[in-house]
Amino acid sequence: MLKLHFAPNSRAGRIVWLLEELELPYEVNRMDFHPRDLKSDAHRARHPLGRVPVLEDGDVSIYESGAIVEYVLERHKNGGLKPAVDAAEYPAYLQWFHYCEGMVMPPVNTIVVQTLLLPPERRDETALGQAQRLLTKALVPVDDALAGKDYLIGDFSAADVMLGHACFMANRLGCVPDEMANLKGYVARVAARPAFDKAINM
């Protein structure tokens, strides 16, 4: 059985969401988002930097959420939740799948550090403001792409697991303005999916 090493409010939520959408059996090692758990010797043996998610599948151990998503789709669902390579939607699928970590998550990371992880006396309001503006700017193409569509490439796909999770977090951080009506609707649709609800509340 698949085993997921998980901490709440992290990218590991994407993997719970994916596994629930695919109705795959799995077990969870739930850890606190705290150095006591993540930086322990036991977890550093799984991930050298003490991060999550980590997925174990028999003799296979793999980290990086995007890599885990690709692995699960190919090894356990025969490419499910992704279009065929020759499908018209495939280039857009690839783009949005990777846009998440390339453009959206870097400023999200900075915002989380500057508002939650650092003690107040070490926070940098200039860095925070820059990251908030950069995040909102990075979401403009996503809002445009969602015009007339429920999901990023039309039908729900693993690109939504990656970028949809990030958009939900960006909205929770207050960086999706009301003018981005397409994106606001998208976040609401993502949040309404039972598999996402289970992942975000685990």
Average pLDDT over residues 17-36: 95
What is the model's pTM?
Answer: 0.95
CA 178 to CA 110: how far, in whole Å?
A: 22
CA torsion through residues 114, 105, 40, 199, sign:
positive
Q: What is the pLDDT of residue 186?
A: 98
Q: Which domains does the chain have, with CATH numbers?
A: 2-76 (3.40.30.10), 90-194 (1.20.1050.10)
Predicted confidence at residue 106, as pLDDT, reads 98
Dump pLDDT digits (tens) for 30-43: 999 889 999 999 99
Q: Which residue has the tokens 């929770």?
A: 172
- pLDDT > 80? residue 79: no
pLDDT at 80 over 90: no
What Å distances lie between residue 103 and 17, 21, 79, 141, 166, CA to CA?
Answer: 21, 25, 25, 11, 10
Selection from 75, 135, 74, 59 nearest residue 100 by Cα: 135
Strands (E) located in the chain: 2-6, 26-30, 54-57, 60-63
pLDDT at 144: 98
pLDDT in tens, 105-155: 999 999 999 999 899 999 999 999 999 999 999 999 999 999 999 999 999
